[in-house]
Amino acid sequence: MILIHSSSGNFITTTENKEKNRRKKRTSRSFLAILLLIMAIVLTSLFSPFFNIININVKGNKTIDSQSIIDASGIEKGINIFRVNIGEAKQNICQIPYIDSVKINRNLPSRITITVIERKPVGYIPFMGSYILIDRKGNVLEVVSQLTNKNLPIIRGLKFNEFKLGETIQVDQEKKLAVIVSCMKEIINYQLLQQVSQIDVHDINSIQLTIEDRIKVNLGDSLKMNYKVNFLKQILDELQDGEKGYVDLSNEDRATFRPNE
């Protein structure tokens, strides 16, 4: 054994140096072996037909058919599951106006699952002899020539020059759209959507509702919307079937109902 005097005054044996070098070499070989194994697995996964897509499932859709969603995604059967660009496929699907969000999972070895959440229509906006169908956030879903769902209200009082499918409608007065969104939220929360036949925001200080074409409602301004719609719900529950009249909720301290004579 040869002893070597270090600059610090300690003695280091050549045997210790050799052992350290051997350990370093073993570590390097192990790392290289693991790296080569990972590369082999990756290459096998990318090119093996075992991972080719044989099934694409779509969940959560009710309005948009599954094939339309698959076509929009750009994902095709027969391609390698690891070569699918999940981010790009999501963006493609979200171009469909009715799609609010999407999640895509790889189910190894050969199945893709697409789960979507659809936007739900809540009302119609008249536009040049047609109707724009919007969701509860004011996003444009589609344009129809006639009312396809008589249980959804017609929204009046909004002015705009253009719109884009899948995007929030841009109106001349943003406050009016905010009022519609706030009002819709409470109408849906209190399960009145199918009873409300019209919402009019020509005057945002005197918001008008029509209930089943038989009861007119003045909500006043948009303040305390939750309180007002809750109160309206209680009044409607107490009225007789088919009863007609006028409900005034513009005064927060006093709600009145005046039946038609």
> What is the structure's pLDDT at 35?
72
> What is the structure's pLDDT at 252?
78
What does residue 145 show for φ and ψ, rounded to 5 degrees?
A: -80, -20
> What is the structure's pLDDT at 18?
66
3-class DSSP assignment, residue 152: coil
Domains of the chain: 51-118 (3.10.20.310), 121-259 (3.40.50.10960)
> What is the structure's pLDDT at 22?
67
Cβ contacts of 37 within 8 Å, gap of 6 or more: none
E strand segments, the chain: 3-5, 11-13, 55-59, 99-107, 111-118, 121-127, 130-135, 140-144, 154-156, 196-200, 207-211, 215-220, 245-248, 256-259
3-class DSSP assignment, residue 185: helix
Q: How many CA atoms lie within 13 A of 141 on its CB side?
A: 21
> What is the structure's pLDDT at 34?
77
pTM of the model: 0.80
> What is the structure's pLDDT at 48?
73
* Dist. CA 153–CA 184, nearest whole Å: 10
> What is the structure's pLDDT at 16?
65
pLDDT tens per residue across all 261 residues of the chain: 444 454 555 545 566 666 666 666 667 777 776 776 676 656 565 667 888 999 999 999 999 999 999 999 999 999 999 999 999 999 999 999 999 999 999 999 999 999 999 999 999 999 999 999 999 999 999 999 999 898 999 999 999 988 999 999 999 999 999 999 999 999 999 999 999 999 999 999 999 999 998 999 999 999 999 999 999 999 999 998 889 999 999 987 888 999 987
> What is the structure's pLDDT at 161?
87
> What is the structure's pLDDT at 1?
47
